[in-house]
Amino acid sequence: MEKAAFTIYLIILILSPLLFGAVHTYAYTFMALAVLAGSLLLVKKNIKREIKTGVYQVRFPKTSLNFALALFLIFLVLQIIPLPIFFVKILSPEAYIVGLKSLPASGALGKEGALTQWFPLSPYGYPVRMSIIRLSVYALFFLGLTQMLNSQRRIELTIFIILFISCFEALYGLAETYSGSGHIWWYKKADYLQEVTGTYINRNHFAGLMEMCVLLAAAYVAALSERKEGRKHPSRHTKSPRARLAMYLSGEQRFNKRLFVLFAGAVAGVGLIFSASRGGMISAAGAMLCMSLFFLSRRNYRRKGFILIVLFLIISAYSLHIGTDYPVGRFRYMDTGLEARSRYTQKTVDMFEDYKLTGIGVGNFQYAYPKYQAAEDKGLFIRHAHNDWAQFLAEAGIIGFCLLLIGLSFYIYQTIRLWRKRTDPFAACLGIAPLAVITAMAIHSYSDFNLHIPANCLMLVAIMAVGHSALHLERHHGRDKTFQYFHTMPLRYKGVVAVLAVLGFITWNGVWTIRHFMAEAYCNTVTNSTLNRDQNPPLNEIQKAIVWDGRHAEYWHTLAGSLMQLRDEEVAPGDHDRRHKRQTEIVMALEQAVRLNPLSAEYHQALGWNYTYLWSDPDRRTRWLRAADVSMDRAAYCAGDRNPYLYVSMGDYWVMRSKTVYPAGPEWWTAWSKACWHYKKAQGLEPGRRLAENIAKYVWRHYPDEGFVRDVLLRENQAVAESL
């Protein structure tokens, strides 16, 4: 069981970086299912019969991360559980406001109806559920790998595999870049043509992998030095020439290991430099300094610093031979790159201000950010803040951020405490590797989002498991074994409940991983630039996707778009009954999309317009138009400064709406003022004659009295008035 699980874990450690960093659905699904399968094998292995008592017992790995992982999983679950509005108002007032906007506008619910509703702390639960699955996979991988790395041989095998991956990634990337091919497997690169990216699409994520591998190589080279206990053996001068020759030959294997590790570290360093990632280079240097300080703090390991110097000299020699003009030259434009990322960070902090305590929901950044997006970034769809610290603060709030710091601090404290007790070079040198890679990721996360890349996060967890196991390794007389700690309990009552809970937890993650994969297979919503996926699947495939995973709002929005196309293509203009039926289906799909994700201005805007198309319904004026008004106000609340044409659409709606009320009355002036405000906003985001002329044409269609319209617009929107 253990060998099979260990083999599975090593396979996914190899394949995850090679499959574009496992950012695509098929890759991270394979990664997750493999980890879950290995975990099931380990659960079975950990149920053993006690020889003395004959009672079956179950054991669970005990590490310094257990408490932090369990606590944060509980926090994520609390983010998506519906709570009474009393608690939601206290913990997250903005979540309560957004929750109200998820209620169907056509229901005409007043305040009394809203009081009966329960809302989650995260307005959109689907991304949080996916975050729970990702965290569960990483946690199970760490716990499983620490248990299986129970010997020096397995620890070294894992290290060699990681270093081999780094060598291949760097050499493959260098070959593709400087040969002019510019491919990643079958995919022709569209960006980063001058930078080395290995099998990653983004150079910064490739740099994240390289910096971790460089640090691991440095730690392992230091660990390969002679054990201190060996100096107590009789001097080589007291041995016979034959014995001395045997000693020399026995050291050849260690020399070969050092040579390979130095080569792997140098190649990874060259790959890091030629990725031209400024954040990667700065992070690696900072982490190497951290590692050096740890070595300097212990008298017996101060000379290990020379190994780090030698490693960097080799890297520099390789780099100078190839030429570093372009990578080094990118530092001249650091201010330009930091300007945009600083703006993203500032807007992310604005998001945090609205969701201070519990956050918007881990994974919800890309859905909530458009409301806060700066006008300078209009037209962009920003998925990450390029600052994982700020993004996590906005997604998890003060409570989640404090849980992260407490858990991380406890892990670091326990690691340093154990590290200071170890005297074996293998344990002391490799035991510092997790702290070095955590430092590198912490620095790099200030300007990028490496921890959102599954392969890099898995590699970080693997190095942490290597360091943890090395610190717990005891070597005596040629034999070695890790002194691991386990929670052990008889397989009765509590033991059975614990096993069932673990199996249920693994099964839940596996079921939803499969359901997510099947839904994405029918209706692709996860960005995949390397496969030619159909972005407009047929209606029946969208419906199948909803059957597999109906909690994803984008499937319902796509369903509504497909139904609109069928309505316009298949339904004759005079067939009012069929048209009304199809329109009702569209409205129901959009209402479900809004109910699941009330953060999207596009959903609210589309729903508002489609309410107005129910013109044959007897309740059109009293119900559907009122519901459309509510939807448009909700869209304006969530819109932000990303899409000027969204404001044009909302302005068009209020112009149309002004024709349905008494002219020059209070309702008319309200509708007309909103139309002018939206048009102004659109022109502020995209000034120019073309947009103003399009607005003027729409206004002219509803108000052909040119003089009247111009007189009114001169006070509200001069550019549109001049275009009439």
Is 407 domain-assigned? yes
Residue 628: inside a domain, yes or no? no
Considering only residues 423 and 201, tell me which one the structure prediction assigns the higher pLDDT. Answer: 201
Q: Residue 444: give the domain boundaries.
A: 2-81+120-228+268-494
Confidence band of 712 (pLDDT split at 50, 70, 90): low
d(CA 450, CA 279): 11
The reported pLDDT for the residue numbered 324 is: 52
Average pLDDT of span 604-609: 96
Q: Each residue of 652-702: pLDDT tens digit?
A: 999 999 888 888 788 988 998 899 899 999 988 988 788 888 888 888 888
Predicted model pTM: 0.89
Residue 390 lies in a domain: yes
Block residue for tokens 């995209």: 686
Domain end call among 468, 494, 520: 494
DSSP letter for 48, please.
E
Which comes out higher in pLDDT, residue 287 or 316? 287
At residue 577 the predicted structure's pLDDT band, cuts being 50, 70 and 90, is: confident
List for the chain the helix, strand, coil content (%; round to 5). 70, 5, 25
Nearest to 93 by CA among 347, 357, 349: 357
Q: Rounded to an integer, what distance in angstroms lies between the CA atom of residue 47 and that of residue 44? A: 6
* Domain limit, last residue, from 473, 494, 515: 494
- Structure confidence at residue 295 as a pLDDT band (50, 70, 90): confident
Q: Determine the length of the chain.
A: 724
pLDDT band with cut points at 50, 70 and 90 for residue 138:
very high
* Mean pLDDT in residue range 637-652: 93
Across the range 252-276, mean pLDDT stands at: 83
* Residue 573, in any domain of the structure: no
Per-residue pLDDT for 588 more than 70?
yes
Helix (H, G, I), strand (E, B) or coil at 62: strand
Strand 479-482 and strand 485-490: the pairing is unpaired
Cβ–Cβ under 8 Å, residues 269 and 311: yes
124, 597 contact by CB (below 8 A):
yes
* Low-confidence winner among 22-36, 288-302, 468-482 (lowest mean pLDDT): 468-482
Question: What is the DSSP code (8-state) at residue 57?
Answer: E
Tens of pLDDT along 456-494?
999 999 999 999 999 988 865 455 666 777 888 888 888
Structure tokens at 261: 């590790």
Grouping H, G, I as helix, E, B as strand and the rest as coil, residue 481 is: strand
244-258, 394-408, 563-577: range with lowest mean pLDDT: 244-258
- Asked if the model's pLDDT at residue 245 lies above 50, the reply is no
- Domain membership of residue 94 (yes or no) is no
Once rounded to an integer, what is the mean pLDDT over residues 377-401?
93
Residue 166 pLDDT exceeds 70: yes
Residue 261 has pLDDT above 50, yes or no: yes
Number of domains the chain is built from: 2
CB 551 within 8 A of CB 125: yes
pLDDT of residue 150 exceeding 70: yes
pLDDT of residue 621: 80
Q: Which residue has the tokens 């060996």?
A: 230
pLDDT at position 723 over 60: no
pLDDT above 90: residue 363: yes
Mean pLDDT, the chain, whole residue set: 86
Q: What is the mean pLDDT of residues 387-398?
A: 95
Q: Indicate the DSSP class of residue 227.
A: P
Decide if 510 contacts 43 (C-beta within 8 A). Answer: no
Cβ-Cβ contacts under 8 Å for 20 (sequence gap 6 or more): 27, 184, 187, 199, 200, 201, 530
Decide if 500 is inside a domain. no
Question: Which among 478, 494, 510 is the end of a domain?
Answer: 494
Q: With respect to residue 680, please indicate whether it lies within any of the assigned structural domains.
A: yes
Note the pLDDT of residue 484: 75
Separation in Å, CA 634 to CA 97, 590, 638 = 11, 14, 6
Span 64-77, average pLDDT: 92
DSSP E strands, 461-587: 473-476, 479-482, 485-490
Mean pLDDT for 503-518 is 97
What pLDDT is attached to residue 234?
A: 45
pLDDT digits (tens, 9 = 90+) for 332-352: 555 556 788 889 999 999 999
Binned at pLDDT 50, 70 and 90, residue 722 comes out as low
Determine, yes or no, domain membership for 429. yes
The mean pLDDT of 189-212, rounded to a whole number, is 92
CA of 397: how far to CAs of 65, 220, 355, 488, 596, in Å? 21, 38, 6, 35, 21
Of 227-231, 326-330, 632-636, the one with minimum mean pLDDT is 227-231
- Which tokens go with 624? 């559907």
Provide the pLDDT confidence category of residue 312 given band limits of 50, 70 and 90: low
The answer to whether 253 and 246 are in contact (CB under 8 A) is no
Residue with the two structure tokens 């013109």: 615
**Is the pLDDT score of 496 beyond 80?**
yes
Contact criterion met (CB below 8 Å) for 466 and 158: yes
- Residue 534 CA from chain centroid, whole number: 24
| Pick from 626, 632, 659: nearest CA to 646 | 632
- Residue with the bigger pLDDT between 230 and 669: it is 669
Are residues 21 and 199 in contact, defined by beta-carbon separation less than 8 angstroms? yes
Count other C-beta atoms under 10 Å from residue 569's C-beta. Answer: 7
